[in-house]
Amino acid sequence: MPLSWSDITAWKHEPLATAERELRTTRRDLLDLADELATMGLPRNWTGDAARTSGTCLRTVADDLRDVVAEVSAAYTAVCDAADGVLGVVRAVAEAREYARLSSLTISASGVVTTKELLVCRADDDEEDVETRRARQAQVDECVTRIAEALRKAADVDADLSAVLTSIELNRIEGGKGTLAQASAIGEVKGDLSVLEPPRGGSPTQNAAWWATLSPDERALVIAENPGWIGNLDGIDATSRDLANRNLLDTRRTHVTTRLAELEAGFIDEDGNFDYVYYQDHIDEYHDLMEEKGAIATLDEMLARPGAHQLIGVDFTTPRTQAIVANGNVDTADHVAVFTPGLTSTVEGMGGYDSSMAQLRARTEDELFRRGESGTVATVTWLDYQAPQWGTTFAGDSVALSGSAENGGRDLAAYFTGLNASRLTDPDLTALGHSYGSTTTGYSLQHEGTGVDRAVFFGSPGLGTSDLGDLHLPEGNAYYAEAKWDPVGDLGRFGTDPTGLEGMNHLETGGGESADGRSWNGVEGHSDYLQDGSTSQYSMAQVVGGHPGDVIEGKNVGFWTDPLDAQPWWPGFLT
**Which tens digit of pLDDT belongs to each residue from 516-540?**
999 999 999 999 999 999 999 999 9
**Looking at 296-448, which runs of residues are DSSP E strands?**
309-315, 322-327, 335-340, 377-383, 428-434
Phi/psi of residue 476, nearest 5 degrees: 85, 10
- Residues 6+ away with beta carbon under 8 Å from 526: 435, 459, 483, 486, 487, 488, 489, 575
Q: With contact defined as beta carbons under 8 Å apart, do 110 and 151 qualify?
A: no
Which of 134-138, 268-272, 281-285 comes out lowest in average pLDDT? 134-138
- What is the model's pLDDT at position 35? 58
Q: With contact defined as beta carbons under 8 Å apart, do 291 and 320 qualify?
A: yes
- What is the model's pLDDT at position 51? 58
Q: With contact defined as beta carbons under 8 Å apart, do 475 and 499 qualify?
A: no
Amino acid at 111: G
- What is the model's pLDDT at position 488? 82
Q: Which residues pair with 238 in a beta bridge?
A: none
Query: Using only C-alpha atoms, what is the Rg of the chain?
Result: 30
Amino acid at 475: E
Is CATH 3.40.50.1820 what the domain over 308-550 is classified as, yes or no?
yes
Pairing of strands 322-327, 309-315: antiparallel
Is the pLDDT reported for residue 387 higher than 60? Answer: yes
Pairing of strands 505-507, 377-383: unpaired
Phi/psi of residue 429, nearest 5 degrees: -115, 125
C-alpha pair distances (Å), 482 with each of 318, 382, 499, 510: 32, 21, 8, 10
> Under CATH, which architecture does the 5-191+209-223 domain have?
Up-down Bundle (1.20)
Query: CATH 3.40.50.1820 occupies which residues in the chain?
Result: 308-550
Query: CATH 1.20.58 occupies which residues in the chain?
Result: 5-191+209-223
The dihedral through the CA atoms of 200, 204, 209, 210 has a sign that is positive
Q: Which residues pair with 321 in a beta bridge?
A: none
Which of 188-192, 276-280, 296-300, 361-365 comes out lowest in average pLDDT? 188-192
- What is the model's pLDDT at position 569? 40
Mean pLDDT of 165-173: 91
Most confident of 52-61, 180-189, 258-267, 557-566: 258-267
How does pLDDT run across 470-516, given as a tens digit for each residue? 999 999 999 999 999 888 866 667 888 898 899 999 999 999 999 99
3-state secondary structure of 310: strand
Pairing of strands 113-114, 478-481: unpaired
Q: With contact defined as beta carbons under 8 Å apart, do 418 and 232 qualify?
A: no
How far apart are alpha carbons 237 and 246 in whole angstroms?
14
**Average pLDDT score, the chain:** 89
Is the pLDDT reported for residue 564 higher than 70? Answer: no
Model confidence at 252, pLDDT cuts 50, 70, 90, reads: very high
What percent of the chain stands above pLDDT 90? 72
Mean pLDDT of 167-192: 88
- Residues 6+ away with beta carbon under 8 Å from 438: 340, 342, 457, 458, 459, 460, 461, 463, 498
- What is the model's pLDDT at position 399? 53
The dihedral through the CA atoms of 231, 232, 236, 237 has a sign that is positive
Return the ∠ at Cα 571 (arms to 566 and 575), rounded to 5°.
95
Model confidence at 394, pLDDT cuts 50, 70, 90, reads: very low
Mean pLDDT of 397-414: 83
How does pLDDT run across 337-360, given as a tens digit for each residue? 999 999 899 999 999 999 999 999
C-alpha pair distances (Å), 31 with each of 6, 24, 165, 175, 327: 41, 11, 21, 13, 52
How far apart are alpha carbons 410 and 391 in whole angstroms?
24
- What is the model's pLDDT at position 67? 85
Amino acid at 129: D
Is the pLDDT reported for residue 120 higher than 70? Answer: no
Mean pLDDT of 403-423: 96
Nearest CA to 569 among 493, 467, 483?
Answer: 493
- What is the model's pLDDT at position 561? 45
Is the pLDDT reported for residue 573 higher than 50? Answer: no
Please state the pTM of the whole predicted model: 0.88
Is the pLDDT reported for residue 393 higher than 60? Answer: no
Q: Which residues pair with 323 in a beta bridge?
A: 314, 383
- What is the model's pLDDT at position 418? 97
Which of 122-126, 178-182, 286-290 comes out lowest in average pLDDT? 122-126
- What is the model's pLDDT at position 258? 98
How does pLDDT run across 22-73, given as a tens digit for each residue? 998 988 888 776 656 555 555 666 666 665 555 556 555 566 788 888 988 8
Which of 263-272, 425-434, 561-570 comes out lowest in average pLDDT? 561-570
> Residue 292: how many CB atoms within 10 A of its CB?
21
